[in-house]
Chain A
Amino acid sequence: AQKVTQAQTEISVVEKEDVTLDCVYETRDTTYYLFWYKQPPSGELVFLIRRNSFDEQNEISGRYSWNFQKSTSSFNFTITASQVVDSAVYFCALSGEGSNYKLTFGKGTLLTVNP
């Protein structure tokens, strides 16, 4: 069985602060994929990034960066110089060959960026 843990239920920061959202996963699969999705107040989830288990390179996209570490089974997400528009619920998700690539979501982290 696979599992995703987002220990931070809610985080509140002031605009321009950096913030890291934690994601720890459990899986027995050798081949698996990790995702981050953003859910703004409008409700729909928006895909942010995907990482496969064979690619541990960190990735940066503008103010967003992701740190994938297989040694600690973590896939953390950092927002640099946060903005009010970053306020949303962020979900980490995992899929693997053992689950026929069905997604398992964490419970999400509500990020509030205050002006």
Chain B
Amino acid sequence: DGGITQSPKYLFRKEGQNVTLSCEQNLNHDAMYWYRQDPGQGLRLIYYSQIVNDFQKGDIAEGYSVSREKKESFPLTVTSAQKNPTAFYLCASSIDWTGGILALHFGNGTRLTVT
């Protein structure tokens, strides 16, 4: 079955450590996105990539980094510079840049806890 796989589901890290969240899709989608969700908040866009080897900052990119070396993979690194990293992170994909017109497909998310 085609879909988006995020791993791990739960992740625990000590403050000051970088951590990388995995996102893999086998939908053959060009565009991929990372969102952050905090309790009682909507989703906020961290980074997005419309094509391989290209990505753009979203609304809250500070303290995060991404890479897009392969079409199916879009890992997100939460760096020690992110002041409040504990959150639920969702990866999404769309056929192309029209994800905001057609629809996004989402993974099951990774819940990151930093202590």
Contact = CB atoms under 8 A, between A and B. Distances in A.
Given A45-B90, A95-B100, A95-B101, A103 B45 contact: yes
A51 B92 CA distance: 20
Which range contains the number of B residues in contact with the other chain?
A: 20 to 34
B103 interface: yes
Main secondary structure of the interface of B (DSSP, over half): mixed
Interface string B74-115: 000000000000001010100001111111111111000000
Contacts of B88: 43
Interface residues of A, number: 24
B18 to A, nearest CB: 23
A35 interface: yes
* Most chain A Cβ neighbours within 10 Å, of B41, B88, B100, B104: B100
Contacts of B102: 50
A25 to B, nearest CB: 12
A43 B41 contact: no
A56 B93 CA distance: 27
A107 B41 contact: yes
Given A4-B42, A9-B40, A91-B42, A44 B100 contact: no
Interface of B: 4, 40-45, 48, 58, 88, 90, 92, 97-109
